[in-house]
């Protein structure tokens, strides 16, 4: 569902989202109920060219922030508000809401989209809005022994996902959105399609994961065969590829490596589809494993990605190579892991250790 399908700011996607995750057909959306300040403020006016390339989750996030902005200034319409109105909303988020700098910048991006791409207003003061400065924090990294303890408290699909996060340096969604065609077990290569920043990259597959991946691919093959026999077997295709190749969504190569346990009805295409495993299932298993392992850190799925970068640096691998494997746009992002190496700051040995 795209922004133009959100007829008014008051419409919510929650019922459709939960119905899809539960594997049953989504009920028709409720009638639009715009707030006092939202009348006439329709997302249908957003220019198609401006929406091109916008991720669905970004669209959902923008809609949520714009609704909050409209309600904050109700009953005044956003067209009537100037720089002071936008600044007041952002300041309220920082002072009363006590949100992080990244959250405030996210809200600002949504408002810029509202004025420039929905209301088609390009005012000079839009460029004068200053983004909040993000605090410089160091990533949480766990040792190899702690990684081993954590993996020992995981099993099944969550364990294989966690092993790929650590062994391949993947982000969680990058891992869950993998298709069978992205896995090359002969070359032990993994192709990440449209990762962060819409960039593709190639990373390694650990040799020890080959048997588990072979078993997982066979499991998906059998599940897809049963789905196809039941009239299902479809998956979502990227961009407009479904128009270029209408039947590709039912091919085995396009099936997700980690499919969801339930199917859902796609209203627009009248297809019974299977999405990839939802990230919350892995995150929940990770939280439980961290508690059982007794790790004293705040460990998340992304912590494994931080840890593999640090452990590769400790092993002496070139930082440019690690940058390519992790898909960092700038090497300065990779350089942050040099500050959490197990060698002290800048590799300096404390004089106390020499006594």
Residue from 20, 159, 171, 273 carrying the catalytic annotation: 171
Q: Is the peptide bond before 75 cis (omega within 30 degrees of 0)?
A: yes
194: annotated active-site residue? no
Q: Coil, strand or helix: which one is 191?
A: strand
> What is the rounded CA–CA span in Å between residue 233 and residue 273?
6
> What is the rounded CA–CA span in Å between residue 96 and residue 99?
8
142, 182 Cβ separation under 8 angstroms? no
Residue from 159, 305, 306, 311 carrying the catalytic annotation: 305
337: annotated active-site residue? yes
Long-range Cβ pairs for the range 241-248 (8 Å, 24+): 242/269
Residue from 68, 196, 201, 250 carrying the catalytic annotation: 196
- Of 141, 136, 179, 175, the C-alpha closest to 158 is 175
Query: CB neighbours of 292 closer than 8 A, spacing ≥ 6?
Result: 153
329: annotated active-site residue? no
Q: Which residues pair with 192 in a beta bridge?
A: 201
- Of 97, 159, 150, 86, the C-alpha closest to 121 is 86
> What is the rounded CA–CA span in Å between residue 184 and residue 264?
29
166: annotated active-site residue? no
> So which residues are the catalytic ones?
171, 196, 302, 305, 328, 337
């Amino acid at each position: 569902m795209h922004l133009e399908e959100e007829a008014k700011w008051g419409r919510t996607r929650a019922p459709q989202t939960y119905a899809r995750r539960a594997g049953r057909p989504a009920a028709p959306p409720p009638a639009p109920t715009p707030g006092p300040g939202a009348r006439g403020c329709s997302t249908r006016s957003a220019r198609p060219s401006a929406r091109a390339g916008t991720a669905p989750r970004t669209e959902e996030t923008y809609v949520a922030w714009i609704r909050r902005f409209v309600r904050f200034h109700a009953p005044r319409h956003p067209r009537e508000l100037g720089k002071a109105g936008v600044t007041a909303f952002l300041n309220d988020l920082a002072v009363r809401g006590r949100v992080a700098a990244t959250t405030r910048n996210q809200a600002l991006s949504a408002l810029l989209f509202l004025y420039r791409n929905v209301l088609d207003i390009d005012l000079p003061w839009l460029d004068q809005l200053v983004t909040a400065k993000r605090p410089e924090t160091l990533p949480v990294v766990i040792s190899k022994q702690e990684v081993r303890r954590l993996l020992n408290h995981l099993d099944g699909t969550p364990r294989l996902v966690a092993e790929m996060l650590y062994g391949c340096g993947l982000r969680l969604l990058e891992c869950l959105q993998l298709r069978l065609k992205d896995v090359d077990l002969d070359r032990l290569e993994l192709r990440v399609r449209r990762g962060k920043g819409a960039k593709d990259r190639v990373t390694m597959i650990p040799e020890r994961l080959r048997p588990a991946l072979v078993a997982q691919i066979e499991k998906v093959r059998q599940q897809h065969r049963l789905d196809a026999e039941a009239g299902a077997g479809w998956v979502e295709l990227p961009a407009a590829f479904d128009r270029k190749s209408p039947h590709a969504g039912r091919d085995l190569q396009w099936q997700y490596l980690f499919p969801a346990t339930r199917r859902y009805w796609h209203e627009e295409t009248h297809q019974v589809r299977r999405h990839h495993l939802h990230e919350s299932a892995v995150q929940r298993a990770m939280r439980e494993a961290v508690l059982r392992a007794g790790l004293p850190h705040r460990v998340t799925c992304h912590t494994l990605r931080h840890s593999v970068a640090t452990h590769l640096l400790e092993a002496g691998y070139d930082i440019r190579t690690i940058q390519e494997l992790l898909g960092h746009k700038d090497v300065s992002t990779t350089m942050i892991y040099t500050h959490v190496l197990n060698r002290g700051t800048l590799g300096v040995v404390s004089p106390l250790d020499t006594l």
